[in-house]
């Protein structure tokens, strides 16, 4: 008996995802043709369907045609393939081509190309909506101007899948024409293979030496070729590293920046802000260059909040109610004091605090007066190698000591800042600081001109005004009387500036700036960093309210208001006509701001985060007596906030920690 056996051959078709195939060329002029390339290997029997039916948003239309391409044998990634259409009739007034797998009622889109922009409403015979599963610039391309024929015009493209997708889906890399393309480009597409992904990510993330301006992060290594560490501020990292992409310190990944890459398992993060939430993730990787492969799943993650301040008990012996307050405070900020040489400012402040990382392992310095951003490759250099110099906020020409670079006052980092030499420092020159009403010249956010009284002044950007004011007030207090020299603002105005032919430095302006631009997280951390190397602190950053106890013209003491015996119907208020408190401190959800006033008064309550952003700003009508306000802080980012109350009797500032 003869038995016939039918042999069935089953092909293991490759299941494709969006972007696994990209189109390199098309002819809508007859005969219709599509050139495409797989970016992954295709098994024999793999089926890809091509259609010019438009996508309605929920289904393919059924008015046009579909062609089927089948791999008759295994196809290596990077192989240039051709579809000669027999069912599609590509319209020369506009049409689309979709590559997909599966059936037309439930397609799995692989790639999309349209010679007209995608539409968002109803489609026509020449238009289509973009399927949600396709991503512009990755797995689909749309041309702004309809042309019947087109081709990718980069002859040789090498890289990982993501870089090739990006290049092919960039319309600037295409040549379009209304004349049929008889001979397409001879493309070379080379897709790099990735190294094997590490089996695990590192473990045991730890934080140590946490201050307001830096912290140490470490972890335990696993078997891998290296580790990529990223950091984000005030929010967990929003993206993972891409395979095949080599990152350097400062490169951006979503909302995070790379802080180190390689085999190091510990790193000192510098340049942080006081009371700032920091989030860290570490990814293991294998390979190098274009074949680098990261383990994106389950990165080692952790977070911390930097210290709110490094003040500690520095002012434990200082009593603003004491008649010796000024001399006590002077003695406190004079000792200990370690001079940091002026020519070391780039190795100290610029390296460890004042600059930030940016892409390509570069760093960024900012001119504090104008806001100019300067990108450089470390180490930092000064004018004339770069546009930047070290600005003395209390000008060297103002010093009654005729200070040289070896003097304490010349080197004091509390009043030294990086600025553009030509367009900011030289323009400011010996001039006092003030609000410009009539502009003579400007550079970005810095201005030079006349104030409302006709005095020649220089006005820095708003973010530096309070910082500059506190630097000047500090210098006056710190050095007055040292070796018998007069550093009061009265002497500065009536002797020094007069001799220089300059207008006076308006004290009221400095105090107004001090109130309007309260110390933020950057300035607080900068004060802490300087204290770590120089030994002393700027008290007007730590205690902004202490300016109310000093008459800066002659540096005399301003006593606290006397306690007046109250009548039966008068609330007893000590020190100020208005008093403010916040509690609990720290707070996690609902906080309370308590206000006491000896009379009816209009006030303004402003709360800033440590980036200087206003999170609350409202008018408050204070009635005689005590009142409380509830504040819902649940949606606020963790960190330190500045509560600022402005009122006619004297402004007040309180630090409030949000957990």
Q: If DSSP codes are grouped into helix, strand and coil, which group holds residue 351?
A: helix
Q: What is the pLDDT of residue 630?
A: 87
**How many CA atoms within 13 Å lie on the side-chain side of 100?**
24
The 3-state DSSP class for residue 167 equals: helix
Phi first, then psi, for residue 514 (nearest 5°) are -60, -40
pLDDT of residue 579: 80
Position 514 scores a pLDDT of: 93
Which tokens hold the place of 354? Answer: 């004042």
pLDDT for position 344: 96
Mean pLDDT across 21-30: 97
User: What pLDDT does 611 receive?
Assistant: 62
Q: What is the pLDDT of residue 629?
A: 87
Mean pLDDT computed over 16-27: 97
Q: Name, in order, each residue with C-beta under 8 angstroms of 227's C-beta and a sequence gap of 6 or more.
A: 202, 219, 221, 260, 261, 262, 263, 264, 265, 282, 283, 284, 285
Contact between 125 and 52 (Cβ < 8 Å): no
In Å, what is the CA distance from 184 to each residue of 27, 69, 261, 524?
Answer: 10, 19, 42, 63
Residue 201 has pLDDT above 90, yes or no: yes
Structure tokens at 439: 């502009």
Structure tokens at 514: 């001090």
CA-based nearest residue to 655, from 273, 316, 274: 274
**Looking at the predicted structure, is the pLDDT value of residue 3 above 60?**
no
Q: How many whole angstroms separate alpha carbon 334 and alpha carbon 329?
A: 9
* Cis peptide bond upstream of 317, omega within 30: no
Mean pLDDT across 638-645: 83
- pLDDT for res 610: 65
**pLDDT tens, 412-460?**
999 999 999 999 999 999 999 999 999 999 999 999 999 999 999 999 9
Helix axes 462-479, 521-534, angle to 10 degrees: 30
Q: What is the pLDDT of residues 466-503, one digit of tens each?
A: 999 999 999 999 999 999 999 999 999 999 999 999 99
**Does the pLDDT at position 567 exceed 60?**
no
pLDDT tens, 496-555? 999 999 999 999 999 999 988 989 999 999 999 999 999 999 999 999 889 989 999 999
The DSSP symbol for 495 reads: I
Give the tens place of pLDDT for each residue, 229-243: 999 997 899 999 999
Residues 6+ apart with CB under 8 A from 529: 211, 212, 213, 214, 349, 352, 353
Identify the residue with better confidence: 623 or 309: 309
Task: Please calculate the CA angle 456-461-466 and round it to the nearest 5 degrees.
Answer: 90
* The pLDDT of residue 318 is above 80: yes
DSSP 261: E
In contact, 163 and 128? CB cutoff 8 Å: no
Per-residue confidence (pLDDT) for residue 569, from 0 to 100: 39
Distance, C-alpha 607 to centroid of its chain: 21
Q: What is the pLDDT of residues 602-633, one digit of tens each?
A: 888 888 876 667 888 888 888 887 788 889 88
Q: Which residues pair with 392 in a beta bridge?
A: 416
- DSSP E strand stretches across 396-436: 416-420
Give the mean pLDDT of 85-112.
96
Of 335, 310, 331, nearest in space to 322 by CA: 331
Residue 6 pLDDT = 39
Mean pLDDT of the chain: 92
The set of residues, in sequence order, having a beta carbon less than 8 Å from that of 420 and lying 6+ positions away, is: 367, 369, 370, 372, 374, 387, 388, 389, 443
Q: Where are the beta strands (DSSP E) in 153-276?
A: 156-159, 174-177, 188-191, 203-208, 214-220, 226-233, 252-253, 256-262, 266-270
pLDDT tier at 7, thresholds 50, 70, 90: very low
Torsions phi, psi for 528 (to 5 deg): -65, -40
Sheet strands side by side (includes 214-220): 203-208, 214-220, 266-270
- In DSSP terms, which residues pair with 99 in a beta bridge? 50, 111
pLDDT, residue 563, reads 38
- pLDDT higher than 80, residue 572: no
Q: What is the pLDDT of residue 152?
A: 98
Select from 584, 583, 629 the least CA-distant residue to 603: 629
Query: What pLDDT is stored for residue 570 in this prediction?
Result: 34
């Amino acid at each position: 008996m003869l038995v016939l056996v039918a042999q069935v051959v089953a092909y293991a078709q490759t299941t494709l995802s969006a972007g696994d195939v990209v189109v390199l060329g098309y002819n809508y002029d007859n005969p219709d043709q599509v050139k495409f390339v797989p970016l992954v290997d295709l098994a024999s029997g793999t089926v890809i369907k091509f259609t010019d039916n438009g996508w309605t948003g929920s289904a393919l239309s059924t008015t046009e045609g579909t062609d089927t391409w089948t791999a008759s044998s295994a196809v290596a990634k990077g192989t240039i393939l051709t579809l000669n259409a027999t069912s599609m009739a590509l319209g020369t007034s506009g049409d689309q081509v979709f590559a997909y797998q599966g059936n037309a009622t439930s397609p799995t889109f692989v790639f999309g190309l349209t010679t007209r922009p995608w539409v968002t409403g109803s489609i026509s015979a020449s238009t289509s909506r973009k399927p949600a599963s396709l991503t512009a610039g990755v797995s689909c391309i749309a041309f702004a101007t309809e042309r019947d024929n087109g081709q990718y015009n980069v002859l040789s493209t090498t890289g990982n899948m993501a870089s090739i997708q990006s290049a092919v889906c960039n319309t600037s890399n295409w040549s379009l024409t209304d004349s049929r393309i008889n001979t397409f480009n001879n493309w070379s597409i080379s897709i790099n293979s990735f190294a094997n992904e590490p089996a695990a990510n590192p473990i045991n993330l730890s934080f140590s030496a946490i201050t307001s301006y830096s912290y140490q992060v470490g972890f335990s290594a696993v078997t891998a070729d290296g580790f990529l560490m990223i950091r984000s501020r005030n929010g967990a990292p929003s993206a993972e590293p891409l395979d095949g992409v080599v990152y350097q310190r400062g490169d951006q990944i979503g909302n995070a920046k790379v802080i180190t890459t390689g085999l190091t398992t510990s790193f000192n993060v510098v340049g942080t802000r006081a009371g700032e939430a920091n989030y860290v993730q570490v990814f293991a990787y294998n390979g190098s260059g274009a074949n680098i492969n990261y383990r994106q799943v389950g990165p080692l993650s952790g977070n911390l909040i930097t210290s709110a301040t490094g003040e500690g008990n520095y002012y434990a012996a200082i009593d603003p109610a004491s008649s010796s307050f000024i001399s006590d405070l002077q003695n406190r900020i004079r000792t200990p004091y370690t001079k940091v040489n002026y020519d070391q400012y780039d190795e100290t402040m610029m390296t460890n605090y004042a600059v930030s990382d940016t892409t390509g392992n570069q760093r960024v310095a900012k001119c504090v007066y104008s806001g100019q951003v300067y990108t450089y490759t470390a180490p930092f250099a000064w004018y004339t190698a770069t546009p930047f110099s070290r600005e003395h906020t209390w000008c060297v020409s103002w010093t009654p000591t005729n200070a040289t670079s070896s003097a304490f006052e010349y080197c004091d980092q509390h009043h030294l800042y990086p600025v553009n030499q030509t367009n900011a420092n030289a323009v400011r020159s010996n001039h006092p600081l003030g609000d410009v009403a009539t502009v003579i010249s400007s550079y970005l956010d810095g201005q030079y001109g006349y104030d409302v009284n006709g005095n020649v002044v220089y006005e820095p950007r708003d973010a530096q005004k309070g910082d500059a004011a506190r630097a000047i007030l500090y210098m006056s207090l710190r050095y007055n009387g040292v070796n018998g020299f007069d550093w009061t603002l009265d002497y500065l105005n009536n002797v020094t500036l007069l001799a220089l032919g300059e207008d006076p430095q308006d004290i009221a302006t400095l105090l107004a700036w001090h109130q309007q631009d309260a110390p933020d997280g950057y300035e607080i951390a900068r004060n802490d960093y300087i204290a770590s190397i120089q030994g002393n602190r700027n008290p007007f950053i730590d205690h902004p309210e202490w300016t109310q106890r000093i008459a800066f013209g002659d540096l005399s003491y301003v006593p606290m208001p006397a306690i007046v015996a109250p009548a039966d119907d008068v609330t007893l208020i000590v020190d100020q006509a208005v008093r403010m408190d916040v509690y609990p401190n720290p707070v996690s959800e609902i906080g309370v701001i308590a206000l006491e006033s000896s009379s009816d008064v209009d006030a303004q309550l402003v709360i800033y985060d440590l980036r200087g952003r206003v999170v609350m700003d409202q008018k408050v009508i204070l009635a005689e007596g005590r009142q409380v306000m509830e504040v819902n802080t649940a949606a606020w980012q963790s960190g330190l906030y500045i509560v600022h109350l402005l009122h006619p009797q004297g402004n007040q500032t309180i630090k409030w920690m949000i957990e």
